[in-house]
Structure 1
């Protein structure tokens, strides 16, 4: 037996021995006609985790559900704008980009930009979503749950900001808290422990808007998509997700039938709140936690594999080209199209395609599951999330491919009559996944423009708009309200 055949045999043996059923209520685990439970959240966890520290998806879905510990590395520069040259004596805000730090001088005539440097790794806690936005419809839910043990929409305004920061800093265990509002800001608990001042610059007295406001937008674009804000390293082995139905089952009923933009933490009960707080208090910093799996890389491999291909498949079916769509399916499923998967000579049964479905669905997770002995509770969630997401992607694609194979029996071409059916299935899959890669400016923006998704702090009244627009980032400017009048900043 050649080394290649031996490796193939061992791979399939491990898959067969380690993979356990994901959906135990399905009699035929690899049947192609069983969609996920309407209340399942694996795809939502998958999207939020693979979107962490990225501006674009966290603006699109502004109410965060994820709390993640992380570190800011030694030597990282942090920026703070204020009215004098003296470092803060209490907890205050800093930013990772000077363009944002400059904006802290809003309504201050004499602006000093202080630059600090981390003298040791800073222990941080990150809240996803547009979590720095002072709006009562959900962006601050996770941090308020942590600060006060309840969700408090009435506290989502500027007047509560210092009390919120003081409350979080009083918890102990963390040096800072990371939030986002178009760009990333850090609620730094101490300016005498872990940081020191590197420089102080007395800036020219000039209005923030329009030039500095648009520079702020420029800087936010640097973090639009993966890898996002790279100066903060997150530890996914201790991630806490409010989409975890085992951790917070009381939220399931409140999400039922609601569009994703309406999901929030209102309605979480005391038992689930206590469980969330216990998980956060148990967070530790140091080596040797978890299995060693690079979960972010695993998630990105799946997104990169399917995001552009699903978009192309959707476009092809919009044009009614079933034959071209089938060719794309064949290419997409090439690693999983087993020679042993042969359709029957007659009938419409698709059980013969089950092994292809299984190979596709398990292709990214079987080996990872074999490392389960070292998993943390968060890693179990991450694995099940990958399984659920890839399972549904593969179920839809393999079912379409099987339809095409059956249609080719006795025919030399795929009938275009399959296009409407396939389009419905692909549209449903894309809507279920909800990935931010598919929210873009169409047509693409000109070189002197930027694709902008309305949201805080400039477009609060259009917060839930999902159609981005092109805005000019050089004079004559277009598209943004004045920062001075933005009520969320």
Structure 2
């Protein structure tokens, strides 16, 4: 389970009794959900598992960053259009795909045979497409919509766009889902008419991160346009071509834990998340949040706050990198917590020795004070000069305190199973995506998880190492339906 329902696990000793208000920010509920949004931001791995993003960040792509656009044409690209961070991602779009007609009753229809034949003929005539390579001509100012927000699915991946950003103007999760150009044009219209041109585009993720950029001529320097080899292009039979897929997904997987090279910098001091609005995000059951059932009037405050975020703050404002702090918390405690819950430590003494080893740097054995020990432990990775006033900082400290307080509490237990259950409850609450990583895949393998439009149900439940030549896997599809239908929802160029 990767997003626990918004409630703390039951614990014999109230965590609040152990926590003092050393820091200036007192965090409300859902700290685990906000922590995970921060930890997974701009990461393919966590954003694929927690694919229903509920947060908006201001983002900067630094001047000079190389970006890519695939097209079957060599003509100069005008906006709005799409850019990829990995060239292999853009190569998939160097060929036009057969697209379905507008959906009826929320369900896409297969193209008529004659239309499919006509499109296939055009594909064969335009067999060799082009890779357009650009550099950002300035620092690009973007709105980052987290999760797998470029996944054209009914699973909730587009909820934050449809119900917060676009006010459901593109259709109720159906017709609008498949008209990506309408989505791009509406966003760029909002940038000019609603936000006074304060953004250059939108940043999203599918199998790879993408930018919808409003003005290519203004914001990019064209570096080159190169013909691609035919084997890298999608064919009508499999929509992406096996070799293209073998290139695409490994390139994407290389960014599982970082977009790399500071190519995207997020403003963590000021961002927006639905987890702080007392919305019933889990009323339909399951482990992933949804917005489609929330009454529109309950979302109005979040819409106003999104406008204020864009109008009152800059993507490049000075910001503490709270993701880096969250990383250190996960890296310090992730493996240890999993070990403690695994039963490998077979006695109470062994369990508590492991726990004390983790906590001993924060304990003064001449003068024990549980509240002080929790604060020392939870503040380990926060610089002394930092005053925590932001939502991100509050969430990171909230989760750190939960870990430290739960471990400290477990030292007083006298029953082995009580300790194990307490640790397992903490793990369920934290739901760190790192615990689902395969670890140790071979040089020609990736740890396969569902990344729209590919992936199976088993890939989500049990990620496993898979060779580049068989990445798509067998069994029920995670995103539902036919992979060819899902590919038809991709934009015509990228």
Partner of 2:362: 336
Q: Is the 8 Å Cα contact of residues 102 and 113 (structure 1) preserved in structure 2?
A: yes
- Relative to structure 1, the CA distance from residue 453 to residue 341 in structure 2 (aligned partners, 3 Å threshold; closer, same or farther) is farther
Cα RMSD, aligned residues only: 3.0
Establish whether residue 219 from structure 1 lines up as the match of residue 236 from structure 2: no
3-state SS in 2 of match to 1:74: coil
Number of matched pairs: 418
- Cα shift readout 1:50-106 (whole Å, capped 9, x = no counterpart): 211000111101100111111111111111111111122231111011100011134
Q: Decide which of 325, 342, 359 is 2:351's aligned counterpart.
A: 325
Q: Is the 8 Å Cα contact of residues 60 and 315 (structure 2) preserved in structure 1?
A: no
**Alignment TM-score, normalising by the size of structure 1:** 0.77
- Relative to structure 1, the CA distance from residue 283 to residue 100 in structure 2 (aligned partners, 3 Å threshold; closer, same or farther) is farther
- Relative to structure 1, the CA distance from residue 154 to residue 324 in structure 2 (aligned partners, 3 Å threshold; closer, same or farther) is same
Q: Decide which of 440, 446, 453 is 1:457's aligned counterpart.
A: 453
What's the CA shift for 1:285? 2.6
**Alignment TM-score, normalising by the size of structure 2:** 0.76
Q: Is the 8 Å Cα contact of residues 76 and 231 (structure 1) preserved in structure 2?
A: yes
Partner of 1:429: 426
Establish whether residue 479 from structure 1 lines up as the match of residue 453 from structure 2: no
Q: Decide which of 217, 223, 229 is 1:192's aligned counterpart.
A: 217
1 CA distance for matches of 2:357 and 2:348?
14
3-state SS in 2 of match to 1:465: helix
Q: Decide which of 304, 310, 313 is 1:281's aligned counterpart.
A: 310
- Cα shift readout 1:280-332 (whole Å, capped 9, x = no counterpart): 43243376x46x533232222222221122122223x3553433222211110
1 CA distance for matches of 2:93 and 2:16?
58
Gaps of 5+ in 2: 1-13, 21-27, 98-122, 192-197, 235-240
3-state SS in 1 of match to 2:67: strand
What's the CA shift for 1:388? 1.8
What's the CA shift for 1:27? 11
- Cα shift readout 1:122-148 (whole Å, capped 9, x = no counterpart): 111111101110012211122223442
Partner of 1:304: 331
Higher relative contact order (CA 8 A, sep 6+): 2
How do residues 7-406 of structure 1 correspond to structure 2 at under 5 angstroms? 29-30=17-18, 40-106=29-95, 107=97, 108=123, 109-150=127-168, 153-155=172-174, 159-172=178-191, 173-206=198-231, 207-208=233-234, 209-226=241-258, 230-244=262-276, 248-249=277-278, 251=279, 253-255=280-282, 258-264=285-291, 266-267=293-294, 269-270=296-297, 271-285=300-314, 289=317, 292-315=319-342, 317-318=343-344, 320-340=346-366, 353-364=370-381, 367=384, 371=387, 375=389, 379=390, 381-403=391-413
